[in-house]
Amino acid sequence: MTEIYGPGAPLPPIPDDLTVVQFMLDSHHVARPVVQPPNAWLIEDSTGRKVGLPKIRSRVHGLANAISSLWSIGEDDVVCIFSPNHVDYPIAIWAMHRLGATLTTANPTFTQPELEYQLTITKAKAIIAHPINVQIAIDAARVVGIPDSHIAVFNVAPDFASSRSHKTVEEIVKQGLSSSLNYHERRLQAGEGKRKLAFLSLSSGTTGRPKAVCIPHYSPIANVLQMAHTANLQKGRWEDRPYRAGDIAMAHIYGLVVVMHFAIFYGMSVVVIPKFNFVDMLKSIERHRINYIPIVPPIVVLLCKHPAVNQHDLSSLRAMKSGAAPLSAEVIHQLSERLPNMSIGQSYGMTETCTTVTFPQLEQKIGTPGSAGRLLPGIIARVIDSDGKLLGYNQPGQLVVKGPANTLGYLNNEQATKETFVDGWIYTGDEVVINEDRELFVVDRIKELIKVKGFQVAPAELEGHLLDHPDVGDVCVVGLQDDYSGELPLAFVMPSANAVGRMRKNSAEEARIKAALIKHVADAKAHYKQLSGGVEFIDVIPKNPSGKLLRRFLRDRAKEMQASGKLSSMTLAKTKL
């Protein structure tokens, strides 16, 4: 056996001449469930305001019409959205797609240097920001040369427009709806959807600084149809099915494909929760009678352990899908005991595969313990050893995948593209096992990425920043296992000669330097990139003869120190959960 195919083929036809917005708003597909109108596509959490297709289509047109003239945005221009969840987030994306533009979405916790980097590598021409992010957006735009007039803000309060000079999305929509047509939306040529970019999404790939993944319109459309086709294969009583058209889903962390596109495509109403707070999330589930929650492992842990869970009516919950990092069998067991009526499943995916490679086993109320779901139809998987030899079922090796949603590579980074994208296959950097039921089990991470609360952290990015500090002679950052966050970045630091001298003279200097290094990272990086695992001093950073960091050696050392209680600096780095 050389290749493993996801079950459920053949897939329904995947259109290659549609943009994402045309697929979502203007066309009907055989895989799309029919939901009786009026059904809400979006529900604003705080107000309960419901937004259906006619309103969405109108607002998308209004925003596109005005932006076309205000910013002269057109074919292949890049617009950045820098915001937490907002009910107009999908409106902004689909409006830019009407104009033929490409979207790059920035993590709302980014610092100014991080946003500058994304704006620079994507060559963004404009920014749509949330009010809480707008000052960072203004400062970053000034550095990279985006004019202040090319920044707009989402609305959060009726009087917000009077407090700043930037136009709000609401004002722009109204302007566009009252103006004559300013843009021409074209239909793609056959096959063009596989080439024309819809998104430039940042990923750290397997190593190094974040890279912009080139995602054509065809990729999210294909992945939505893979998931919808799988959901359509559900059997049994309607009442028992975990995925149902007409249900209410939660979007506390916007999954660009899984939540914003698949859930809506499949006929679910999505409750948009702007900022995550666990107790507030429980209140939202109770208030809106939410049925489906796509979440990440830290929230699963809170559902297992937080006392507030017992204080809220969560009986509406019927299905949960966890992604971004593996859940242990023990955690799944705890969750099933606390919420016994809920279907529990996991999935696996990457930005490079846009997005989902596996999906929960829908015939099981609780997915096979330890598995990250089952391969989606249309996915072809290989498991290879370190020499590239093809392995079989139940043999651990690197996962290599091919599917219709695979992306095109990294923007302007030929070397990184060659390393990850090979002849249509994506080398994931994850060590896995696949069994005869086509279920995927993640064994280890071959690649160097650290996963903190589902977010990617590239050790090389933190190492480069730490090496700029005068007290650091050499450094290696590894992931430290943590029940809540999944992993925590821990820095093994070889102090500079000057730092060693100061510590020899004054024993208190060691703690001061460690605290300074933690602050050095905290001042420049998003919260999930901070050294929440602490700093440990080491005499020498282990490397192989060619100079490559022996990261696994230090990862194992961190595990031993953690198990024996010898980590010295966790209290310095302790973050509020």
Number of H helices, E strands in the chain: 17, 28
- Predicted pLDDT of residue 574: 44
Alpha carbon separation from 362 to 157, 230, 240, 317, 404 (Å, rounded): 41, 8, 10, 16, 22
- Predicted pLDDT of residue 571: 44
Is 200:216 a contact under the CB 8 Å cutoff?
no
Quote the percentage of the chain above a pLDDT of 70: 94
- Predicted pLDDT of residue 462: 86
Mean pLDDT of 468-491: 88
Rounded to the nearest 10 degrees, what angle do helices 53-70 and 169-177 cross at? 90
CA 24 – CA 540 distance, rounded (Å): 55
User: Tokens in use for 187?
Assistant: 């239909």
Q: Grade residue 204 by pLDDT with cuts at 50, 70 and 90.
A: low
Report the CATH architecture of 49-186.
Answer: 3-Layer(aba) Sandwich (3.40)
The vertex-378 CA angle with 342 and 188, nearest 5°, equals 110
- Predicted pLDDT of residue 208: 61
- Predicted pLDDT of residue 309: 93
CA 76 – CA 195 distance, rounded (Å): 11
Residue spans of the domains in the chain: they are 4-13+206-445, 49-186, 450-573
Which one has a higher pLDDT value, 435 or 333? 435
pLDDT at 556 over 90: no
User: Tokens in use for 541?
Assistant: 């950073």
User: Tokens in use for 77?
Assistant: 């221009």
- Predicted pLDDT of residue 331: 79
pLDDT in tens, 28-50: 999 999 988 878 999 999 899 99
- Predicted pLDDT of residue 370: 83
- Most confidently predicted of 171-185, 289-303, 479-493: 171-185
SS3 46: coil
Question: Rounded to 5, what percent of the chain is helix, strand, coil?
Answer: 35, 25, 40
- Predicted pLDDT of residue 575: 38
SS3 505: helix
CA 565 – CA 244 distance, rounded (Å): 47
pLDDT at 494 over 50: yes
- The CB-side HSE value for 272 (13 A sphere, CA atoms) comes to 22
CA 532 – CA 574 distance, rounded (Å): 6
* Cis ω for the linkage preceding 10 (within 30 of 0): yes
Count of Cβ atoms closer than 10 Å to residue 76 Cβ:
11
Is 522:573 a contact under the CB 8 Å cutoff?
no
User: Tokens in use for 436?
Assistant: 């005869």
State the fold for domain 4-13+206-445. Answer: Rossmann fold (3.40.50)
Q: What stretches of 74-184 adopt beta strand conformation (E)?
A: 78-82, 102-106, 126-129, 151-153
- Predicted pLDDT of residue 205: 55
Mean pLDDT of 11-17: 97
Tokens 């929960």, residue?
A: 360
Quote the percentage of the chain above a pLDDT of 90: 68
Could you tell me which residues come within 8 angstroms of residue 48 by beta carbon, excluding any fewer than 6 positions away? 287, 288
- Predicted pLDDT of residue 445: 67
DSSP 231-244: HHT--S-GGG-SS-
- Predicted pLDDT of residue 240: 85
- Predicted pLDDT of residue 544: 62
pLDDT at 543 over 90: no
- Of the candidates 420, 322, 309, which has an alpha carbon nearest to the alpha carbon of residue 369? 322
- Predicted pLDDT of residue 191: 98
pLDDT at 483 over 80: no
CATH number for the segment(s) 450-573:
3.30.300.30
SS3 444: strand
**The domains spanning 49-186 and 450-573 adopt the same CATH topology:** no
Which of the 8 DSSP states describes residue 543?
A: B
Could you tell me which residues come within 8 angstroms of residue 524 by beta carbon, excluding any fewer than 6 positions away? 111, 113, 465
Q: Grade residue 573 by pLDDT with cuts at 50, 70 and 90.
A: very low
Q: Grade residue 149 by pLDDT with cuts at 50, 70 and 90.
A: very high
Reported pTM:
0.84
The least confident of 76-80, 305-309, 323-327 is 323-327
The least confident of 99-108, 283-292, 467-476 is 467-476
Mean pLDDT of 193-203: 96
pLDDT in tens, 265-320: 999 999 999 888 889 999 999 999 999 999 887 788 788 888 899 999 999 999 99
- Predicted pLDDT of residue 414: 95
What b-and-e string marks burial along 401-425, b requiring 16 or more CB atoms within 10 Å of the CB?
bbbbbbbbbbbebeebbebbbeeeb
pLDDT in tens, 434-451: 999 999 998 876 667 788
- Of the candidates 188, 186, 220, 216, which has an alpha carbon nearest to the alpha carbon of residue 200? 216
